[in-house]
A and B are shown apart, each in its own frame.
Chain A
Amino acid sequence: MESNRGRSARSTGTAFSRRWVLGAGASALLTTGLSACGSGEGSGGGGDTITAFVYGDDAVKVQAAAVARFNKSAASKTAKGKIKLEKIPGSDYLPKLRTAMGSPSAPDVFFNWGGGSIKAYQEADKIVDLTDIIENDPVLKNGFLPSVLAAGDLKGRHYGIPMRGMQPVILFYNKTVFAEQKLQPPTTWDQLLDVNTKLKKAKITPFALGGSDLWPELMWLEYLVDRIGGPEVFRRIQDGDAEGWGDPAILKAAEMVKGLVDDGAFGSKFTSVSYVNGGAPAVFAKGKAAMHLMGSWEYSTQLGKFPDFAKSNLGWAAFPKIEDGVGDVRNVVGNPTNYWSINPRTQNKDAAIAFLKDCASEAYAKDLVALGDVPTTSNASALLSSAPNPEYAKFQYDLVQQAPAFTLSWDQALGDELGTKMHTEIGKLFTGKSAPSEFVSACKGLK
């Protein structure tokens, strides 16, 4: 599902049927039996094929190419290991990884979102601390933007190697609609409200929103809180202080969300529109909605589904400034990137590390660029001119480069348990089932 673009594994579960559970149970039983037979002596570390679990969307082409490249390389021969890539459908990725990691068929290398998404693995000793390895290896140490490397950290230690493009959240707009209505993309909140009023008058929904997935709604809160109170507000919550939800910026942001919803800024049906099944992108591309606050993958989603729209009518802008807010207008929210991490129980750590180094190579970065992504490698800026849309790539790169703060998506930063519960509360806020003050007190009680 290309629309996922590594962001929204948690948002779907359509394929997670009874059959899936049975299959998982059966395959767990099978693999237990098989590996019990095979785990005698003799494998001895070297010469093994090690497995890598990856989120199986469109971007997986890049990892497939990297694996093919590595398996033929001298590094693979030196480390006596080859990589086998397992592409797992996006909606199943998280539960599948979790069940596999608790079983004997665990992957050696696995895709993740860094931060809170790997906390449980770190606490259970199922992830290799890569800090020293990165510090002592010039390729890894100098290969990536330091801020991106740090963004996936847990308590100042590195556990992952960046392996996909940047995913900042961007305000997209439909150029044709804006031209027809003689509008400019808003740079301040007042302008946004003004644009909102004019669009409604013209019977166009101002913003597309995939409300049934919940995480697109989260993006609004992330930006509003950042613009009103700065990145410190969420940082405090992320560091474990639930009282941080009591910050006035959160209440203000929730009230602004309620204002937008009541005003009809998202139309009247957004709670049953989904992003993942292509609903929200279609509403946006067909001009039924004029703007769409979404991760940078919106571009490649549109390029896949509505190529003409993506090429000529898709516009982009930074999230507007809020007049009395203290947050820097250059701040960005979203996902810095995705990471590869290593399972400590791997039979061939050397091969795993040698493979991860490929992510810093020019060939790897070029593959990402060709797909429309902006790599997080230090050589990225030189490659952007060969992107499918260099202007967009450059915009995205500068946005992230110049951002004083890049706040990791809240759900990823908080981890699965808190993230899921927060989604529920956000859903209630957007559907008007809880008032802004109720939202704040409910979030304070999350644990």
Chain B
Amino acid sequence: MSSTVTSGGEKVQRGKVRAGRPSAVWALPAVLFFTFFAVVPMALAFYLSFTKWDGLGDPKPVGLANWQKLLDDPRLTQSLGITVLLTVASWVFQTVVALLLGVWAAGPQRNRAVLSAIFFVPFLLSSTAISILFYALLDPNFGIIQKDTLGSTSGAFLAIVFVGGWQFIPFHTLIYQGGARQIPEVLYQAAAIDGAGRYRQFFSITLPQLRHTITTSTVLLVVGSLTYFETVLILTKGGPGTDTAILPYLMYEAGFKTYDFGYASAIASTLVLAATGLSLILIRLTGFGGMRSTREGM
């Protein structure tokens, strides 16, 4: 008797466990997908970086030759510089605008909801479409700005930063809007009683409360900037000269224009390492990983 009860009880308990916490099997489709479409290609690219392959025939092992070439390539240094510069410029432009827009859009009025929806439209377009559109707008003879914009170093760089911002600011605005709406109203009420004005409220309440939101948006933005590609390809093709040839463009050129897939894979592997490293550092530095609450003292 007692044994049946126990076993029955165990069964019930096990059933409860199953219902309450899904087993690892549930993650299988996602894991498989990730393995086949992310991990395997990444491993393949890493393997290819130790070979010479022109896309025809079989890859031939060449040891560290591609990595050596990468270290010796003056274009890599230039490219890294441009990539860093582009990332910083994009961060400043997009974060400032998106933060202000997001906080503004978090307000309650109806017109804000409508305007927010309109702001969001650029994000829905493909970056290829956006780049082609701006390419036409910037045409020196038939566009709206009839200057040598894309043919000058600073013009081309600013155009890339602007077009990127135009596309991605809506997305970051959405994140900041969400973040700003989470801030408890009481904080502002208390501040108002203490006599804090709008600016004081923004800098002393909104900004600190949005710390983690800024981190999230920054990580997405920085990693996104590292893989920024279509816009550069369409707007400038890395030009004028090689002045806007960011790392992903250099990779594309090595792979699909000179058919040096080994070298392209070495660049790609570098990018993966850089992106992973950077996001880890960012999370560490900002204390995001510690999951500390922003509402200390509440």
Interfacial residues, chain A to chain B (CB-CB below 8 A): 10, 13-19, 94-95, 98-99, 101-102, 120-121, 124-126, 211-212, 214, 268-273, 277, 279, 282-283, 288, 416-417, 420-421, 424, 427-428, 431, 433-434
Are the CB atoms of A272 and B151 closer together than 8 Å?
Answer: yes
Are the CB atoms of A272 and B138 closer together than 8 Å?
Answer: yes
Of the candidate stretches B100-108, B109-117, B142-150, B273-281, the one touching chain A is: B142-150
What chain A residues lie within 8 Å of B236 (beta carbons)?
Answer: 212
Of the candidate stretches B166-174, B205-213, B238-246, the one touching chain A is: B238-246
What chain A residues lie within 8 Å of B146 (beta carbons)?
Answer: 269
Residue of B nearest to A103 (CB): B55
What chain B residues lie within 8 Å of A273 (beta carbons)?
Answer: 139-141, 151
What chain B residues lie within 8 Å of A124 (beta carbons)?
Answer: 54, 56-57
Are the CB atoms of A98 and B56 closer together than 8 Å?
Answer: yes
Q: Contacting A269 at CB < 8 Å: which of B56, B132, B147, B242?
A: B147
Q: Contacting B253 at CB < 8 Å: which of A15, A120, A420, A427?
A: A420
> Given the complex of chains A and B, what is the CA–CA distance between A16 and B234 in angstroms?
9
Q: Contacting A102 at CB < 8 Å: which of B55, B127, B136?
A: B55
A-B contact pairs, 20 of them (CB 8 A): A13-B256, A14-B128, A17-B128, A18-B230, A94-B256, A102-B55, A124-B57, A214-B239, A269-B146, A269-B147, A271-B240, A272-B150, A272-B151, A273-B140, A282-B141, A288-B141, A417-B258, A427-B239, A431-B151, A433-B240
- Beyond A14-B128, A277-B135, is A102–B56 a contact (Cβ under 8 Å)? yes
Residue of A nearest to B259 (CB): A416
* Residues 53-84 of B at the A interface (beta carbon under 8 Å): 54-57
> What 10 pairs between A and B have smallest CB-CB spacing?
A271-B151, A272-B151, A269-B140, A124-B56, A272-B150, A417-B258, A269-B148, A124-B57, A433-B241, A428-B241
Are the CB atoms of A98 and B259 closer together than 8 Å?
Answer: yes
Q: 12 additional contacts, CB 8 Å, given A271-B150, A273-B141, A279-B142?
A: A13-B233, A13-B234, A14-B132, A18-B229, A98-B256, A99-B55, A124-B56, A269-B140, A271-B152, A273-B151, A420-B257, A431-B240
* Residues 177-233 of B at the A interface (beta carbon under 8 Å): 229-230, 233
Are the CB atoms of B151 and A101 closer together than 8 Å?
Answer: no
- Beyond A282-B142, A416-B257, is A272–B128 a contact (Cβ under 8 Å)? no
Are the CB atoms of A272 and B140 closer together than 8 Å?
Answer: yes
Q: Contacting B241 at CB < 8 Å: which of A95, A272, A283, A431?
A: A431
- Beyond A126-B56, A279-B141, is A10–B257 a contact (Cβ under 8 Å)? yes
- Beyond A10-B257, A421-B258, is A101–B150 a contact (Cβ under 8 Å)? no
Interfacial residues, chain B to chain A (CB-CB below 8 A): 54-57, 126-128, 132, 135-136, 138-142, 146-152, 229-230, 233-234, 236-237, 239-243, 252-253, 256-260
Are the CB atoms of B148 and A271 closer together than 8 Å?
Answer: yes
- Beyond A126-B56, A269-B148, is A424–B256 a contact (Cβ under 8 Å)? no
What chain B residues lie within 8 Å of A13 (beta carbons)?
Answer: 233-234, 237, 252, 256
> Given the complex of chains A and B, what is the CA–CA distance between A212 and B140 in angstroms?
11
Q: Dominant SS at the A interface?
A: helix
- Beyond A14-B234, A212-B237, A282-B141, is A272–B149 a contact (Cβ under 8 Å)? yes
What chain A residues lie within 8 Å of B142 (beta carbons)?
Answer: 279, 282
> Which of B234, B241, B253 has the most A CB atoms < 10 Å from its CB?
B241
Q: Contacting B259 at CB < 8 Å: which of A14, A18, A417?
A: A417
Nearest Cβ on chain A to B229's Cβ, whole angstroms? 7
What chain A residues lie within 8 Å of B229 (beta carbons)?
Answer: 18
Are the CB atoms of B233 and A14 closer together than 8 Å?
Answer: yes
What chain A residues lie within 8 Å of B55 (beta carbons)?
Answer: 98-99, 101-102, 120
Residue of A nearest to B135 (CB): A277
Are the CB atoms of A120 and B234 closer together than 8 Å?
Answer: no
- Beyond A98-B55, A421-B258, A433-B241, is A268–B128 a contact (Cβ under 8 Å)? no
Residue of B nearest to A97 (CB): B55
What chain A residues lie within 8 Å of B128 (beta carbons)?
Answer: 14-15, 17
Nearest Cβ on chain B to A342's Cβ, whole angstroms? 15
Residue of B nearest to A10 (CB): B257
Are the CB atoms of A269 and B256 closer together than 8 Å?
Answer: no
> Given the complex of chains A and B, what is the CA–CA distance between A283 and B141 in angstroms?
7
Nearest Cβ on chain A to B140's Cβ, whole angstroms? 4
Nearest Cβ on chain B to A285's Cβ, whole angstroms? 11
Q: Contacting B139 at CB < 8 Å: which of A15, A120, A279, A434?
A: A279
What chain B residues lie within 8 Å of A101 (beta carbons)?
Answer: 55-56
What chain B residues lie within 8 Å of A19 (beta carbons)?
Answer: 126
Nearest Cβ on chain B to A380's Cβ, whole angstroms? 34
> Given the complex of chains A and B, what is the CA–CA distance between A288 and B146 in angstroms?
13
Are the CB atoms of A120 and B56 closer together than 8 Å?
Answer: yes
Are the CB atoms of A16 and B135 closer together than 8 Å?
Answer: no
> Which of B146, B151, B229, B258 has the most A CB atoms < 10 Å from its CB?
B151
> Given the complex of chains A and B, what is the CA–CA distance between A279 and B139 in angstroms?
8
Are the CB atoms of B54 and A424 closer together than 8 Å?
Answer: no
Nearest Cβ on chain A to B106's Cβ, whole angstroms? 32
> Given the complex of chains A and B, what is the CA–CA distance between A101 and B55 in angstroms?
8
> Given the complex of chains A and B, what is the CA–CA distance between A15 and B132 in angstroms?
10
- Beyond A270-B151, A272-B149, is A120–B240 a contact (Cβ under 8 Å)? no
Q: Contacting A121 at CB < 8 Å: which of B56, B150, B239?
A: B56
Nearest Cβ on chain A to B123's Cβ, whole angstroms? 16
What chain A residues lie within 8 Å of B242 (beta carbons)?
Answer: 424, 427-428
Residue of A nearest to B147 (CB): A269
What chain A residues lie within 8 Å of B135 (beta carbons)?
Answer: 277
Residue of A nearest to B229 (CB): A18
> Given the complex of chains A and B, what is the CA–CA distance between A10 and B62 in angstroms?
28
Are the CB atoms of B54 and A120 closer together than 8 Å?
Answer: yes
